[in-house]
Amino acid sequence: MNYELQTMNYELRTMNYLKLKFLTKSIWVFHAACSPCNNCDIEVLDLLTPRYDVERFGMVLVGSVRHADALLVTGIPNYKTAERIKKLYTQAPKPCLVVAVGSCACGRIMFRESYNSPCALDEIIPVDVYIPGCPPKPEAMIAGIVKLINKIKGVR
Ligand code: SF4
């Protein structure tokens, strides 16, 4: 490996480390609905209400994946959405964290044998945190976010 490439790799690693370190204070999230039944999405919206208020952790939902630090994915990838979720992940700035919300995104539950479900989410993109439940309660999602923050803090 030549010197320039080594320096570039080092700078990239340092940048990723710094970005992950700062993320513990403010994670900007893009919500990707990957063909869910919508119950998980309703629970995600609950997180933003004054009762749960995830903004106190600095977590904000953003409208474009290009501004996101993390992807919050609900539902099962089917033949149509699998391609799109892969594309969304490639469009997100790296490092991009992925949170699977709901049992569908975590392991496809009853859709595992479905003719229209080619593979699990973590076979398409790397998943950092799994929050199972059908749908998971907002408290479980907050616990998942705390797990994510702790995971980031553990990054060296
Ligand atoms: S986990 Fe349950 S609530 Fe969530 S999308 Fe799947 S079926 Fe719907």
Distance between CA atoms of 31 and 71, rounded to whole angstroms?
A: 6
Q: What is the pTM of this model?
A: 0.84
Distance between Cα 41 and ligand 1 center (Å): 9
Work out the average pLDDT over 38-57. 89
Ligand 1 mean position to 136 CA, how many Å? Answer: 8
Query: 98: left (phi > 0), else alpha (psi -120 to 50), else beta?
Result: beta
Whether the CB-CB separation of 65 and 30 falls below 8 Å is answered with yes
What is the arithmetic mean of pLDDT over 106-125? 90
For the segment(s) 2-153, the CATH number from 3.40.710.10, 3.40.50.12280, 3.90.550.10, 3.40.50.970 is 3.40.50.12280
pLDDT for 133 equals 92
- Pocket of ligand 1 contains residue 74 by CB under 6 Å: yes
- For the record, the structure tokens of 28 come out as 């900007």
User: Could you read off the pLDDT of 60-93 as tens digits, one per residue?
Assistant: 899 999 999 899 999 999 999 999 999 999 999 9
pLDDT digits (tens, 9 = 90+) for 125-142: 999 999 999 999 999 999
pLDDT at 65: 93
